[in-house]
A and B are shown apart, each in its own frame.
Chain A
Amino acid sequence: MPALTPLEIETLRLSLRVGVVSVAASLPFGIVVAWLLARRQFPGKILLDGLVHLPLVLPPVVVGYGLLVLFGRNGPIGGLLYDAFGITFAFNWKGAALASAAMAFPLMVRAMRLALELVDRRLEAAARTLGAGRLRVFLTITVPLMAPGILTGAILGFARSISEFGATITFVSNIPGETRTLPLALYALTQVPGGDRAAWRLALLSVLLAMAALVASELLARRLDRRIRGVA
């Protein structure tokens, strides 16, 4: 395959940026929500569970539209964020990252929650008898022991983010150089005559990217797993 064209490079860089930022920004929330769902009993837990998983079963267009209503410049949350911090999600790459994060969140939380449920709580109790408060136990015992799950969640989230289409195009439209990620660029190419060859190249690029992410996650997870099983 010949070298990437400048347009392809721009698209790829935008996609990676959207993917990385969406995962990085949602990871802490994901860990907290996974912890709430796995460990805590509170009223409304079923509701939170449902809300988190909703993007998995809703048409992505609905999620995109919901984000548009809530996070648009005049939306209840979007307006607030703009007034307070000058941040806006409307029709820019940050909005694309937000849409991707919303769609990837359930996958991420699921992976982390499963990992958290496998963490041996007796080790946490042991840490407390050694004088560690709850936060220190969480940071030094719980999080390291669920690290493979966090990693899997992050990679799954990343793969899902760079593949996001429906919510993104609904929320932030398809603006070249700003919100036109790989899938959106691919879509645009299929809408014009003679775009077949370029579309194929983008499709192949998407496959390579996703495969690389999955293989990397598997290799890293194995290493981490050996580490937390206490074998050098």
Chain B
Amino acid sequence: MIEIDVEKRLGGFHLAARFAAPATGITALFGRSGAGKTTLVNLLAGLERPDRGRIAVGGDVLFSAEDGVDVPTEQRRLGYVFQEGRLFPHYSVRGNLTYGRRRGRGAAVSVDAVVALLGLEALLDRRPGDLSGGEKQRVAIGRALLAEPRLLLMDEPLASLDAPRKAEIMPFIERLRDELRIPVIYVSHAMEEIMRLADTLVLLSEGRVAAVGAVEELTSRLDLRPLTGRHEAGAVIRATVAGHDVTYGLSELAFPGGRLRVSHVALPLGSPVRARIRARDVALATTRPAGISFRNIFPARVTEIAADRAPIVDIKLDIGTAEQPVALWARVTARAVQELQLAPGRAVFALVKTVALDRASYGRYDPAPGEDDDTL
């Protein structure tokens, strides 16, 4: 477990954060800029000192104001990937990678393995000044990994990169999670990154923890929309890859209660995936429509209506089974709500365009987080 209960005052800003998160998979710290995300990570790493409180990772107390414990940064064994890379300019890539190697300890992760994992073979003798932004971040990730941390902190590692570079790094971060199984705290203000990478979500707002939970759970809560983002708001559905249609370049994802037809997903059958469906990509009908291009038509039941931002109304639906409800959101106008007489409990059909789901809408997930607590 990662246990945090800290307070820190910085000028006019007051951070008072308390949460516990499993030390497996990727835990995302999400919030607007100024919410305290970076401060919180710096407190964890020991680069800043809390005014009071306690920090423990995997049962080891790293900071405790009460007991006078403040383990120095260099002894915390937390890897840190900074937004701006922070490679050492006077070392080669190889020198950067091996800077944190510990002498005299049996190395669990070899340099060769990390170099292969991150595709750094061709960069080893280059200098940081010659690298592109994406290459720098890959080296920074490798450097942190090779110090063999018990937990990896990533502070918006993709924020300074353009979209193609982001797409280049993302698979490497997925490999950290899936192959090395190293627990990660991932700071971001981009919901699509979180949805693709994270298992657990910690929502930060103005220095406070607003909510902690599974990504699907928090993103499907209507009351958290102001924090999770209105424009991009949507539900996250856990599914497994159930079929590929090579002729049409489509895939089917099975979830409790139905199958979602989406653009081709390059994952083997049976892979657990998370699909994010934005509220504005979902339409509603009161009768099953015929002769329509929507490839996904799900019988649904209205569970909640949020009309706080009229004339735009977010409708929360259940498209799952009686035992396993699956939340989906639809964004419609207040007028549609009235004309279709939408109210909680009403049976409707939810329509989702196949093309609305692209590569950025999926992420693999760990089907059983919590089973690997001994990786610490």
Complex Cα spacing A130 to B141, Å: 12
A228 close to B (CB within 8 Å): yes
* B88 and A141 contact, CB distance less than 8 A: yes
Q: Is B45 an interface residue (CB 8 A)?
A: yes
Q: Chain A's interface: helix, strand, loop or mixed, by majority?
A: helix
Do B144 and A123 touch (CB < 8 A)?
no
Do the beta carbons of A144 and B90 come within 8 Å of each other? Answer: yes
**B89 and A129 within 8 A (CB):** no
Closest Cβ–Cβ distance, residue A4 to chain B (whole Å): 40
Provide the residues of chain A in CB contact with B72, threshold 8 Å: 128, 133
B197, chain A: closest CB distance, angstroms: 21
Residue A125 contacts which of B73, B102, B147 (CB distance < 8 angstroms)? Answer: B73
- Asked whether A231 and B127 contact (CB < 8 A) given A122-B82, A126-B82, the answer is yes
Q: Is the interface of B mostly helix, strand, loop or mixed?
A: loop
A230 at the interface (CB under 8 A from B): yes
Chain A minimum-CB-distance residue to B153: A129
A141 / chain B contacts, CB cutoff of 8 Å: 88
The residues of A that contact B130 with a CB separation of less than 8 Å are 230-232
Taking CB as reference atom, which chain B residue is nearest A136? B74
In the complex, whether A132 has a CB less than 8 A from a CB of chain B is yes
Binary contact readout A216-231 vs B (1 if CB under 8 angstroms, 0 otherwise) = 0000000000011111
Measured CA separation A132–B89 after assembly (Å) = 17
Q: State which size class the interface on B falls in.
A: 20 to 34
Q: A131: which of B88, B102, B126 is its contact (CB, 8 Å)? A: B102
Report yes or no: A123 in contact with B86, Cβ–Cβ below 8 A. Answer: yes
Q: Point out the residues of chain A lying under 8 angstroms from B129, CB to CB.
A: 229-232
Determine whether the beta carbon of A132 is less than 8 Å from that of B82. Answer: no
Task: Kindly supply a per-residue 1/0 record for chain B positions 119-157, scoring 1 wherever the CB is within 8 Å of any chain A CB and 0 otherwise.
Answer: 000000011111000000000000110010000000000
B47 contacts across to A, CB distance below 8 A: 125, 128-129
Given contacts A126-B82, A130-B143, contact A232 B127 (CB under 8 A): yes
Q: Are A126 and B77 touching (Cβ within 8 A)?
A: no
Query: How far does the alpha carbon of A229 sit from the alpha carbon of B127 in the complex, in Å?
Result: 9
Instruction: Among A127, A140, A230, point to the contact of B89 (Cβ < 8 A).
Output: A230
Contacts of A12 in B (CB 8 A): none
Q: Are B88 and A232 in contact (CB under 8 A)?
A: no
Residues in B77-116 with C-beta less than 8 Å from chain A? 77-80, 82, 84, 86-90, 99-100, 102
When C-beta atoms are compared, the residue in chain A nearest to B99 turns out to be A130
* Chain B residue at minimal CB-CB distance from A147: B90
Binding site for B on A (CB under 8 A): 122-123, 125-133, 140-141, 144-145, 227-232
